Homo-oligomer: A and B are copies of this chain.
Amino acid sequence: MKSTYEECLQACRECLEACNVCFDSCLKEDDVKMMVDCIRLDRECADACGYAIQAMTRNSPFVKEICEICATICERCADECGKHDHDHCKRCAEACRKCAEACRNMVA
């Protein structure tokens, strides 16, 4: 069974990837005007996950605080991506929700 730490690390890696794939895909969409909040939040969320991954793996004294902010950002990104029907948005929303939950478990 995976530990809370391993679950969270894995979720952050998958969320970072899903957000960046969504960022890249949104920029290629015809209706890019509709995707601007998604583009912005994808970048926010990929950076937050990257920051959390670095913090967790180096045994940072601030893992809880960093995972908490990561969870907040993931939730906001999931809400935004969840509004769109593009496959990359749906996959991103799911990865963000899973990551938010894993980060909340790290904080608990």
Q: How many chain-A residues does the 8 Å CB contact rule pick out?
A: 38
Chain A contact residues, majority secondary structure: helix
Q: How far is the CB of A71 from chain B (nearest CB, A)?
A: 11
Q: How far is the CB of A88 from chain B (nearest CB, A)?
A: 12
Asked if B54 and A16 sit within 8 Å, CB to CB, the answer is yes
Q: Determine if A4 is an interface residue (Cβ-Cβ < 8 Å).
A: no
Given A17-B9, A39-B39, A57 and B46 touching (CB < 8 A)?
Answer: yes
With A and B bound together, what is the CA distance between A24 and B61 in angstroms?
11
Knowing that A20-B54, A47-B55, A62-B69 are A-B contacts, what are 5 other residue pairs whose CB atoms are under 8 Å apart, sorted by A's residue number? Answer: A33-B33, A40-B61, A50-B54, A62-B73, A66-B69
Q: What are 17 A-B contacts with C-beta separation under 8 Å?
A: A13-B13, A16-B54, A20-B57, A20-B58, A21-B58, A24-B40, A24-B58, A32-B36, A33-B33, A40-B61, A41-B61, A44-B62, A47-B51, A48-B62, A61-B76, A66-B69, A69-B69
With A and B bound together, what is the CA distance between A46 and B59 in angstroms?
13
